[in-house]
A and B are shown apart, each in its own frame.
Chain A
Amino acid sequence: NAGVTQTPKFRVLKTGQSMTLLCAQDMNHEYMYWYRQDPGMGLRLIHYSVGEGTTAKGEVPDGYNVSRLKKQNFLLGLESAAPSQTSVYFCASSSNFPNTEAFFGQGTRLTVV
């Protein structure tokens, strides 16, 4: 029972490089979220999706893009990485009922040098 799987788990990028983080869930959830976790800042919502083909901005969307072409996948892209994007990124999914909990992946630790 995989739940939410994030790929890769670790990555080091040079400033200006691009990359895509992949989140896959096998629970048939409608909602998917991308967060970043930084010391003292908690989890901040980057982008989210309420269904296949939809995306919406969260609290800190600048410098990131997302796509939800398939219901089970939610991709987070960095077109031109900056040191300020060094963080731990978490993906989560949930059903569309507001009183249901979200399930989280194990995180991706990204360092931009």
Chain B
Amino acid sequence: AQSVAQPEDQVNVAEGNPLTVKCTYSVSGNPYLFWYVQYPNRGLQFLLKYITGDNLVKGSYGFEAEFNKSQTSFHLKKPSALVSDSALYFCAVRDDSTDKLIFGTGTRLQVFP
């Protein structure tokens, strides 16, 4: 069955420090992986997606994600966090055998000044 796991409910980091938000996935077909961000009382905004062949993917606002096939992970990273990065982050996977787009439970990122 298709699934996404975000093991951390919340990640706290000081401004200027690197951040990582974790995501692991399970699919039966080829994985298509995405990260989205949600600010309060807003819809989800696309950040980046995995493209076959590029294990390090760069996206919006300085975010990047590292795809690891052997660990079935797609962790979101940023070298230097900003207070304005504080938001709810969702990992999602589309399985090309089912057409469904499945989301994780979300990780709240809190960046402290």
Asked if B99 and A35 sit within 8 Å, CB to CB, the answer is no
- Residue interface bits B63-97, CB-to-A below 8 A is 1, else 0: 00000000000000000000000000010101010
Task: Kindly list chain A residues whose C-beta atoms are within 8 Å of the C-beta of B41.
Answer: 107
Asked if B49 and A31 sit within 8 Å, CB to CB, the answer is no
- Indicate which residue in B32, B90, B101 contacts A42 across the interface (CB closer than 8 Å): B90
Known: A40-B105, A42-B103. A98 touches B44 (CB 8 A): no
Asked if A101 and B34 sit within 8 Å, CB to CB, the answer is yes
Residue of A nearest to B99 (CB): A50
The A interface, classified by DSSP as helix, strand, loop or mixed, is strand
Residue of A nearest to B94 (CB): A98
A2 within 8 A of B: no
Known: A98-B32, A99-B32, A99-B49. A45 touches B43 (CB 8 A): no
B24 to chain A, nearest CB (A): 14
Given contacts A43-B44, A48-B101, 15 further A-B contacts (CB under 8 A): A45-B103, A56-B99, A90-B43, A92-B44, A92-B101, A94-B101, A98-B94, A98-B96, A99-B52, A101-B34, A101-B46, A102-B92, A104-B36, A107-B41, A107-B43
B interface residues, Cβ below 8 angstroms from A? 6, 9, 30, 32, 34, 36, 41-46, 49-52, 90, 92, 94, 96, 99-106
When A and B form their complex, which 3 residue pairs have the shortest distance between CB atoms, in order from nearest?
A: A42-B105, A104-B43, A43-B103
